[in-house]
Amino acid sequence: MSTAAINRVEKLVSKLCEQQVEILDRLAGLEARLPESNAPSKTDVIKFLDGFRAFEELGEASFGAWIETCTTDQLNGALRTIQMREGGHARLLGQRLKDLGAAQSFEVPEEYRVETMECLGSCERSDASKLVEVTSKYTDVDSVIKPITDFADRLDCDPVTQSLLRSIADDERSTLTCLFAACAEMNPA
């Protein structure tokens, strides 16, 4: 190859390098202007849904145990509605996991499960004391709902899961509002 040809190739390579640097600088500028994504990974979504599903299953079972021992007719009807919601949520969350290609794997720790079932299924405890036990775990309804809605708000890339969680959060709000009201009524200060 002649010296002139080598010089032309070197000039082309140099120009290409300059263009590449310019393109990389432009890309860096564009990336800096993009909003930072806080969307959870698919693994995070699956973990959240699976844990939520397991606790909703426990809710269905424990409210069922409470219904069997409930002596307050008005509360009994509310508990039946709550149990139905909890079971429905568990099944919906389980189906969403399946749709995402995941299997149900999370299990509520046995100690917590036993404690919950013994408390709500106890014949020795009054309905009023069970309401105090359940509601005393939460400062208010919003503090329980917030983690669900916050997670849903991050799921713009998965509108199916997002709308599912928002709908369940609405049901949970109704459940907790009912339990707090019943507790206040049955345990006047």
pTM: 0.79
Cβ atoms of 93 and 53 within 8 Å: the answer is: yes
Segments in 34-158 forming alpha helices (H): 42-69, 73-99, 110-120, 127-135, 141-153
Q: How far lies 57's CA from each of 72, 99, 126, 171, in Å?
A: 24, 19, 23, 15
Averaged over 132-155, what is the pLDDT? 92
Looking at residue 2, its pLDDT comes to 76
Does the pLDDT of residue 32 top 60, yes or no?
no
Share of the chain above pLDDT 70, in %: 84
Does the pLDDT of residue 189 top 90, yes or no?
no
Q: What is the pLDDT of residues 38-89, one digit of tens each?
A: 889 999 999 999 999 999 999 999 999 999 999 999 999 999 999 999 999 9
Place 101 in a pLDDT band, splitting at 50, 70 and 90. very high
